[in-house]
Chains A and B, each alone.
Chain A
Amino acid sequence: MNTGTFQILLIEDNPGDVRLVEECLRSRGIKYQLTRCETIDAAIRIVNSYGANGAQVPDLMLLDYNVPRGDACAVLEAATNNPALTRTRKAVITSSIAPKDQQDALRSGADAFIYKPADLDTFLREVGESIAQLLEQPDPRS
């Protein structure tokens, strides 16, 4: 279990949601360092660079399913195929309730599918809980 600062890669184009995710972490006292990108292309570039450029590998990748310009599943697949990211937890965060989106994400290697509620308190509670679980969940191989 990591008690230090968590590296978080957040792929999200909406600043409102970035602030909400940060509030979830802050309100739970989780120390974090956030890497943020706003498009699929940028996300894939970053994901592919891990392991090669010595940058710190993220503990958690949070991917907004509806990030513009591209298919979110491609980011998940790139992350799954990068051996440097074996220990990285991968979660899709979305306001979509379409079962197909969820199936596609899980098939592409997502560990969790987090729904964004419209109510502030519900958002902070539910999304916060999911993130905490993902971060504190021990790696099965360690």
Chain B
Amino acid sequence: MNGTVSSEIPIVASATGVTEVGNDRVKLLLVDDDRDNLLALQAVLEPLKQELMLASSGLDALRLCLDHDFAAILLDVRMPDMDGFETAELIRTRKRSRHTPILFLTGYRSDEQLFRGYDLGAVDFLFKPIVPEILQSKVAVFVELRHSEQLMRRQAENVARAEQKFRAVLEAAPDAMVITDQDGTIHLANSRTDLLFGYPREQLIGLNITSLIPDWTPPDHGSTDLPAAPAETRLTATGRNSTIFPVEITRSPSENDDGLLIITAIRDATEQVQSEERVRRINLELERRVAERTADLTRSNEALRQFAWAASHDLQEPTRMVLTYAQWVAKTAGSKLDEQELEMLNCVRENGSRLQTLLGALRQYIYISESGDEQWKTVDCGSAVHTAMSNLEGMIADSGATILFDGLPSIDSIEILIVQLFQNLISNAIKYRSAEPPRVRISAEARDDGWQFSVEDNGVGIEPEYLQYIFGVFKRLHGRQYSGTGIGLAICKSAVDRLGGSIWVESRPGHGSIFRFALPENGRK
């Protein structure tokens, strides 16, 4: 045959059957000028289930070698125009087929031929007549070889792709990423690292990470299989031109074939530190202003307290003088005064007396808000009511009041305040009595967080619109027919506040009032 591919010869034999999973079919080139031989070879190699390509001349073979990679070439030595050796020589000159294994098929043994063949890179000689089993097994070796080669190439490609992917991830990361060994020697860094530290990449590789972050240490070992988010650490970094800036780093160990590698993500924390500093300054300023305001308030509170104290005390002396001397005048000159003059003198005495009562109540009010913590102890509320009643002995007797109480608890409190509370509430109930003889009922109920006391009377009651005023100082709702100082309920409020509780009133005009106060279990702070 003459070197052209005739149409009757299928150049590509379609190999049928199932290929082995994971192995691509490899290509085998069969070259013989004798068509029968070619068909015979094809028949023998068909069971290998690889892709067989047939060429009927050296030229055809060369042409096919340009376009295909063959696992092996079976080459007939004796062919017209271009014999097998010539063909082999030309195949070897081509880059693509330089290393393709060539098996020569020859009709007779000759040492000269063998030397020439091996010299041209032949891997084997097969002598005609071909023994199918031998041919098959020899070719199978090359198929196997090619398969292994393919596998290795694929693996190498995978590794390269993985590395490429890894580098892409590294580059896409928003932070500077530095991969080091445990000693800190840099193996890999992304472009953000160049930007952050100002070193060209090639200078970074091989550098120790501690020249970037002096306090860098490898993370604690033993957690390599934990993908949990690693903790952030705030450190100081040094840039190329000795700039110093804060960074936040996370380190994660990664075990691979080369040993333990450490991936350090580095984020410039300058802005964060600045904003933290701003927040800190704002907070400080706020605290300073609050402290200033508090000091102002404390000062003015203290001034007010001192004023109230001084007023109640300094007014007391002149009041006493007015009272005493009005009495003295009445005593020594009373008989010389006419009725109108005596009335005027009485007016002085009555008002002096009233002023004295007010000052006394004011002192009490101040005293309550100043009572110290050392006075906390167990207080028997029943005996506190007894004390209050004996302080109000005259008032109770004069009004014919009935005071009923039962089952009052013992609580942790300040005794004098509890006495004041009951005393002022009882005296309030008696002062603002109706036409009936006053009746006061005192009771207590346990609550989740302490006790609620009730002081119920049958007095005149309070108009709803006045309810909000009654606990203020000097808020008297009634005229002179009632003898209140206007401080009694303010004292109650102050005492309850001091004990950490609350006080309120429920009332309907003509139906009496119920004063209630709640004291917490642990009012002591």
Contact = CB atoms under 8 A, between A and B. Distances in A.
A118 B323 contact: yes
B431 interface: no
A100 B421 CA distance: 24
A16 B321 contact: yes
Contacts of A95: 316-317, 320
Contacts of A120: 323-324, 327-328, 331
A96 interface: yes
Interface in B280-334: 313, 316-317, 319-321, 323-325, 327-328, 331
B454 interface: no
Interface of A: 14, 16-17, 20, 66, 95-96, 116, 118-121, 123
Interface string B429-458: 000000000000000000000000000000
A14 B316 contact: no
Given A16-B325, A96-B313, A118 B331 contact: no
Nearest to A66: B317
A116 B356 CA distance: 14
The 3 closest A-B pairs by CB, nearest first: A120-B327, A16-B321, A118-B320
Nearest to B326: A120
Interface residues of B, number: 13
A34 B209 CA distance: 96
Contacts of B321: 14, 16-17
Interface of B: 313, 316-317, 319-321, 323-325, 327-328, 331, 356
A11 B262 CA distance: 89
Contacts of A20: 324
A119 B324 contact: yes
Contacts of A118: 319-320, 323-324, 356
B392 to A, nearest CB: 19
11 contacts: A14-B317, A14-B321, A20-B324, A95-B320, A96-B313, A118-B319, A118-B323, A119-B323, A119-B324, A120-B331, A121-B327
Nearest to A123: B324
B172 to A, nearest CB: 77
Contacts of B331: 120
